[in-house]
Amino acid sequence: MELPQFKHRVLAKIQPELETLLAQNLKQLEADALNDPIQLSEILENRLTHFWSPIQHLHAVCSTPELRKIYLACLPLLSDYGTALSHNEKLYQAYLKAPQNRITELAIRDFKLSGIALSPEKKQRYADIDKALSELSTKYGENILEATQEWKYQATPEELAGIPDNILPEDHMLTLDAPCYMAVQKYAVSRELREKCYKAYVTRASELDGGKHDNAPLMEKIMTLRQEQAALLGFKNYAEYSLATKMAKKPQEVLDFLNNLITSAKPVAMRELKRLEEFAGHALQPWDMAFYSEKLQKQFYEIDEEQLRPYFPVDHVISELFNLMEAVFGLEIKKLEGIETWHPDVKVFEIKSPKAVFYMDLYVRKNKREGAWMDDYCSRYKKPDGTLQIPVAFLTCNFRAPTKDQPALLTHDEVITLFHEFGHGLHHMLTQIDRIDISGMNNVPWDAVELPSQFMENFCWNKDVLKKLSKHYKTAESLPDDLIQKMIAAKQFNSGLYLMRQLEFGLFDFELHLTSKPVMDILNTVRQKTAVIKSPDYNRSPNTFSHIFDGGYDAGYYSYLWAEVLSCDAFALFEETGIFNQKTGQDYINKLLSQGGSEDIGILFKNFRGREPNNKAFLKSWGLLA
């Protein structure tokens, strides 16, 4: 079992070692391209991934100025290498001559999308754009991290009134890290403090926070280059280019999908806003929404997220998550000891069958990228010598760490986040496909890749599962039935407002990649259609929209909702047959989850569900069914 090394990596050696490895790969490519192109591509990719993925991961979870500098210096090398592969005529011809199957079809498609058929001049321009986009995206992410870390505000005890003691920073120093920012927005009685933090949050990495980390010029450059790249390949716009590898086939299909949901959700959202304003007794601003939503939800259902937190100690939640996986999918998971990690908080686990390993890094800390994500060290792969490489995954979150007085406690939202990322992990780890190109999440369309993660979220709303997941860290009691009923009832509270926010993101992203208008102009046009409450003119949310400028969701943010329609429909079968029905669980894994990119996702879904997907379960889960 080969696992990554972190502590013994000499930073000064990373770049020269990478240069040597890339040169070795290109030399082997030149010598062997005409033999077996699939096998050769797998060997080269596997070798590079083993070297680079731990470095990429360290850059995300414990970055330092020295590592950042080395990482940035390596990106152009990787970009050049990627271009050399995707423009290698010999390898392309080998794929064209190889027996046609799913892998060769996908490879030929990707060769064409990377400009293999362009003239030498256009090919070079395409490569230059690729390299520039990689560097610009990384700089965009760096700007957000640095802008977030630089803002601090020393609050007075009076200003912090309303924020529960257990989530107050001990030194009363406020930051823009998500847990701290959300605590202020949800609980601070001081409207001035909420607005102050809101303004700082939505002007990060813009000309309004000092301009040192302004992402606006980077965004305009990124958009110009993306549109030029699409045009080089003969597409009308970048959105069309993006859909060439997705489940949705045409831009109008995506626009119709989003606009139909806006039609369903906006009237509900407007009613929810009216109810909130009547409750508050005045017109609301964006920095009021979380505060009054929390208060009204508490009044309606007599619950808030902090009240639930003591019931979800991290270690118990993880233990019960593993028990659930055994009950539904027959998976046996155990902790591994003595494995090298990048931080003392990281824990390592093994799935016994099919064999896989995953690392859990759950707590927020300095120099760690915000958010939650799943990444991988390597994919399942049967090597040329017949040995089987097992998949290895990294699961990363940013929960509040334990203190000397209490263990790490999760809100219910954070439990959902954990299940979500674990769903991605299962997709990677439970694959039965032995070829890297179609193993796990590889070559699963981007707009379906969230299906397994969102599928897992549904368990967090099931009464029987909630009973098991919850165990008060002081009393050891499970959530009482009445509280669970209130949670489930509260699930659809302000769901229209939340959905409209997601639809705004999705439509903004897609419209942005359909045209070449300035970023803020497009956002303002989209907001006329989606906004239920006006954002202040100083709001610069695109400047921190990492998903589409530094996260791979460009012209693909709609994927979250698209995949949620699929995931709700898939989970509905479990509700019909019994939540712990192992036959349904095995069908889900065998027919859908384990098949990776080996077949069109629409066919795999139909194999599992017995029919085409529909959005009835999705609309029901959001409370949008008329």
Active-site positions read: 421
Handedness of CA 177, 178, 182, 183 (dihedral sign): negative
Q: How many helices (H) and strands (E) does the chain have?
A: 25, 9
Q: How far apart are CA 111 and CA 104, in angstroms?
A: 10
* Contacts by 29-36, CB closer than 8 A, 24 or more apart: 29/84, 29/85, 29/88, 29/90, 29/91, 30/90, 33/88, 33/90, 33/91, 33/94, 34/90, 34/93, 34/94, 35/94, 36/98
Residue position matching structure tokens 């007075």 = 156
Contacts of 485 (CB under 8 A, 6+ apart): 463
Q: Which two tokens stand for residue 313?
A: 């100690």
Contacts of 501 (CB under 8 A, 6+ apart): none
Q: Which one-letter DSSP state was computed for residue 246?
A: S
Residue position matching structure tokens 């362009």 = 118
Q: Which two tokens stand for residue 288?
A: 């009021």
Handedness of CA 76, 549, 449, 424 (dihedral sign): positive
Q: What is the DSSP string of 419-487?
A: HHHHHHHHHHHS----SGGGSTTTT--TTTTTHHHHHHHGGGG-HHHHHHH---TTT-PPPPHHHHHHH
Closest CA to 34 of 85, 114, 82, 97: 97
